[in-house]
Amino acid sequence: MSALLLVALGLNVAAVLVLYRAWRAGRRARPALAAGGWALLALAFAAFAAEGGPEFAVVYLAIATALLAWGLVGWTSEPRPQRLRPTRTAPATAEAPPAPGRTGRLIARVLLVGPLAGLAWMPLGLALTGLLPGTPADRLVLGFFAVLVGWTLMSLWFATSARLAAPALACAGLAAAGTALVWVVA
């Protein structure tokens, strides 16, 4: 592994940490914090591009950023204990068990963020390979990059959305539109 690749990975880790910090701060976040995170991400892209070219930099940046963000959110999230109301007969000292629906929502979010967001973009990437100009190899690479970028954006939307209904409907609509476009192109 070259030194430039290590620098790029270090910049990518720093960018994800800064953007995560800005996201967790919510409305209290300073705009400079988020801008700094995006600037670090741009520097990581430049370092990846210097190492392997811009076509590989997009892939490296998308995959590394998604894996780092998923890992960071998964590592730092923990179920919040429910507050117990004190009763007159006994003081509430034990924590309540997690709500039964919370586990199902967590599983649904993980499935939507990961494989289902990618599957929604697959038909669109396949349709793009038939619509784009150029050699078959170029079209295949551009379609693959479109799937990676779309998958990353859809995953970010799922991961940051408070409710899953709107992104899930958009994901289903995108999959249906991509499938219809594949039938038109083929």
* Sign, CA torsion 170/73/49/51: negative
Q: What percent of the chain has pLDDT over 70?
A: 84
d(C-alpha 77, C-alpha 100), whole Å: 17
So what's the pLDDT on residue 79? 63
* Model confidence, pTM: 0.47
pLDDT at 85 over 70: no
- What are φ and ψ of residue 89, in 5° steps? -90, -40
Buried/exposed code over 76-108 (b: 16+ C-beta within 10 A; e: otherwise): eeeeeeeeeeeeeeeeeeeeeeeeeeeeeeeee
So what's the pLDDT on residue 49? 92
Residues 53-69, mean pLDDT to the nearest whole number? 86
Mean pLDDT score across all residues of the chain? 81
pLDDT at 94 over 70: no
Q: Which pairs with CB-CB distance under 8 Å and at least 24 residues apart come from 155-159? A: 155/66, 155/70, 155/113, 155/114, 155/117, 155/118, 156/69, 158/109, 158/112, 158/113, 158/117, 159/69, 159/70, 159/73, 159/109, 159/113
Most confident of the ranges 16-25, 40-49, 72-81: 40-49
Q: Are 151 and 117 in contact (CB under 8 A)?
A: yes
Q: What is the pLDDT of residues 23-59, one digit of tens each?
A: 878 777 778 888 898 999 999 999 999 988 888 888 8
pLDDT at 153 over 70: yes
Residues 10-33, mean pLDDT to the nearest whole number? 84
Residues 107-126, mean pLDDT to the nearest whole number? 81
Residue with tokens 């800064």: 18
d(C-alpha 177, C-alpha 164), whole Å: 20
